[in-house]
Structure formats: C-alpha cells, structure tokens
C-alpha cells in the first residue's frame, strides 16, 4: 500500500516537472514588447514603427541585393513570406541577449499571439538557414530541429540539395560554424577547419552557408 502511494506521488511529481518545463519553454507575451512592423526589407529584416531596423536573431535568409544584382535562390520567396506575415501588423518583440549587430540593427525575434515566431515559420518552409550568432544560442538550439525536418522534406531552398554536385569537400569554420565552398577565398583564411562531404552534411551538423560564398555553394 505504501509502495502504491509512493508511486502515485512520484508520478504526480514527474507530471508537475513536465508541466513546469513546458510552461518555461513557452514565450510569455507578458515579458515582450508590442511593436508594429511598417516595412519588410528582406527575408530576415523589418523596419518598426519607431524607425528601428530589426534583424531576426539565429537565422539567415538568402540575399535579395547582391553584387551581381541577381537575388540568391529563394530570396524573393523568403521576402514575400516575411512581408505576408509581418508588414502592417502588431507583433511581440523579444530582444536577443546581444541587443544589436555591427550595423546597429536590433536583434531579436517576433512572435504572434499564439506564441509562434516568424523565424520558426521561415525555417519550417525552408526559406531560412539556422545560424549561430553570439547571443542567439537560444534560437539556434530551438530552430535546428525544424531545419532538419525541412531538409528531410526538401522544402524551399533545400529542394536544391537534390542537384548538388558530387565529390566536393566543403570547408567549415569550427569557430563561426559557417561552411564554405572549396573555391571560396574566405575558406583559405580558416584556422580551425572542419570538412563535409556534402552541403546537407554541413547543415545537419549545425553549420550554415558563409555569406561570402553562398552563391558559389548554390551555383549548380
């Protein structure tokens, strides 16, 4: 009888811990700032009503504006989805631990009433890479599993993985967690190198494409 009572109390304790963890993992709107998005710049940057530029932390979307004036693959799709989700709407802003990037833009995340984030949707649709940035480890860990699922389903930009060339060794930077095309000049400057036999392997290991040579990586 005592054992039965003990097991009952133990199960209740486990349930309490589970519910506490679930509650702690959710983003509470009470601690967030209401903001209005007045303009979308690209897939991962918006302008707020107060004039501040907000850059989503923990992700990177393909660039619309490039030196060749040709948008990178799926850049326009990321921009259009971001615009549909946020422009003219009031959302909840959560600042990143690192408040601003080197360009002076706010860093953080935007959430809807239901607790879903804009970045979460972009990653699920295969329109954003999950990238490690100082102060954004929370988002990095949260979105990596979503990216793996998008890769598995070949969503968005990950549909291009079916066409990637064979016998190429990609070079990763262990410090920045970025990977480069072997012909990218930036790859030669890396001190702590990691090697990947495919783009998919690099992505699944938590590395994202280097901005300096993303066009080379997806040039097939």
197, 203 contact by CB (below 8 A):
no
Q: Which range, of 69-73, 81-85, 111-115, 195-199, averages the lowest pLDDT? A: 69-73
Indicate whether 9 pLDDT > 50.
Answer: no
Burial (CB < 10 A; 0-12, 13-18, 19+), residue 103, is: exposed
Residues whose CB is less than 8 angstroms from the CB of residue 110 and which lie 6 or more positions away in sequence, other chains included: 35, 37, 46, 54, 56, 86, 91, 92, 93, 94, 117, 118, 119
Do 132 and 63 sit in the same domain of this protein?
A: yes
Residue 36 within a domain: yes
Measured CA to CA, the distance from residue 182 to residue 172 in angstroms comes to: 10
Residue 113 within a domain: yes
Do 99 and 179 sit in the same domain of this protein?
A: no
The CATH number given to whatever domain includes residue 138 is: 2.40.50.90
Token pair of 181 as six digits:
């095309």
Q: Where are the alpha helices (DSSP H) in the chain?
A: 2-25, 75-86, 118-124, 137-153, 199-204, 214-217
Do 146 and 177 sit in the same domain of this protein?
A: no
Measured CA to CA, the distance from residue 121 to residue 105 in angstroms comes to: 22
Do 95 and 184 sit in the same domain of this protein?
A: no
Residue 19 within a domain: no
Indicate whether 4 pLDDT > 90.
Answer: no
Residue 215: φ, ψ to 5°: -70, -35
What integer pLDDT is reported at residue 29 of this predicted model? 63
pLDDT in tens, 78-119: 999 999 999 999 999 999 999 999 999 999 999 999 999 999
Residue 28: φ, ψ to 5°: -85, 125
pLDDT in tens, 37-66: 999 999 999 999 999 999 999 999 999 988
Average pLDDT, the chain: 88
Confidence of residue 6 (pLDDT cuts 50, 70, 90): very low
Strands 170-173 and 178-180, bridge-based pairing:
antiparallel
Indicate whether 25 pLDDT > 80.
Answer: no
pLDDT in tens, 110-127: 999 999 999 999 999 999
Strand positions, DSSP E, the chain: 33-42, 45-48, 53-56, 59-60, 90-100, 106-111, 129-130, 170-173, 178-180, 193-196, 208-209
Do 85 and 60 sit in the same domain of this protein?
A: yes
Final residue before a domain boundary, out of 153, 181, 197: 153
Do 180 and 134 sit in the same domain of this protein?
A: no
Do 42 and 134 sit in the same domain of this protein?
A: yes
Give how many domains the chain has, as a whole number.
2
Q: What range defines the domain where residue 62 resides?
A: 29-153
């Amino acid at each position: 009888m005592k054992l039965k009572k003990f097991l009952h109390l133990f199960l209740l304790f486990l349930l309490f811990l589970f519910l506490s963890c679930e509650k702690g993992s959710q983003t509470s709107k009470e601690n967030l700032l209401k903001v209005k998005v007045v303009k979308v710049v690209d897939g991962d940057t918006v302008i707020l009503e107060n004039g501040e530029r907000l850059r989503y932390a923990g992700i990177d979307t393909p660039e619309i504006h490039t030196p060749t004036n040709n948008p990178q693959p799926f850049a326009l799709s990321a921009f259009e989805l971001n615009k549909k989700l946020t422009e003219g709407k009031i959302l909840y802003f959560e600042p990143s631990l690192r408040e601003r990037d080197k360009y002076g833009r706010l860093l953080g995340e935007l959430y809807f009433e239901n607790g879903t984030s804009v970045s979460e949707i972009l990653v699920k649709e295969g329109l954003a890479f999950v990238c490690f940035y100082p102060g954004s480890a929370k988002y990095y860990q949260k979105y990596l599993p979503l990216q793996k699922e998008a890769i598995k389903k070949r969503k968005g930009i990950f549909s291009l993985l079916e066409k990637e060339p064979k016998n190429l060794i990609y070079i990763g930077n262990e410090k920045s967690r970025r990977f480069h095309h072997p012909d990218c000049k930036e790859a030669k400057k890396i001190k702590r190198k990691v090697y990947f036999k495919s783009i998919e392997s690099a992505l699944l290991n938590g590395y994202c494409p280097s901005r300096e040579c993303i066009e080379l990586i997806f040039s097939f």
